[in-house]
Structure 1
Amino acid sequence: MTTEARADLAAAVEKTVRETPGVHSVYRSGSLISNLVRTGAEVLRVRNDSQPIVTVISGERGVAVEASIGIDFRSGAAAILRAVHEAVDGLLHAGGLTRDSITLNVVYVQPPEAS
């Protein structure tokens, strides 16, 4: 898979994740350290942050996807994760791609809005 194709797929995955009911937001995937290094490189203008928020890696066994999401407080995390997994899996299948793995992390739970 080319770099451009991977970026296009990552954008499509991000859109799919955002459109899943119960998902409040999508955050840049990766560890705290890698995100701090990335931010430092952006500040020093060593790197432009035009890369997708979700991670897509194409390997011998198929495509691996990682996304970090914020969910709605009122919805159950398990149900939302299952829905996101199914939506991303469906996107990969529709594109004729083999899934290696889909890793989803809940990184933030949106509290209910004040009345």
Structure 2
Amino acid sequence: MNLGGNGPAFCSGGNGTDLAIPDPGTAQSTIAPAGCSGVAARTSEVAVTIPHAYVGDLVLRLVAPDGSSYLLRDRAGGFEGVIDQVFVVNLSRESRTGTWRLRVQDTVAGATGYLDAWSLTL
């Protein structure tokens, strides 16, 4: 079993384009890491920064190029703040190649925010 992929030990990408999160609704941002091959790591990292008036409204999912979905956060937290967190995810069954998506869902109306930036290390 190849735990670290066939390419470099890790590969990464990032997206720093601000993206408004519909209230309520879903925003989606993409990253397509360049020069990546093989499979992702067991200790892949998703770093996320989201200022939001009520972070407890948010559900975050990482979606792999094949459509597999990984729940990162499900309506945790409370009032105004910032999600500034690194999530460690076992992606060892996923190919590194392709476009990865971060989906941010605001589940309740009345509080707004935006995706400031996110990065992915596979």
What is the TM-score of this pair, normalised by structure 2? 0.29
Whose helix proportion is higher, 1 or 2?
Answer: 1
Higher relative contact order (CA closer than 8 Å, sequence separation 6+): 2
Whose strand proportion is higher, 1 or 2?
Answer: 2
What is the TM-score of this pair, normalised by structure 1? 0.30
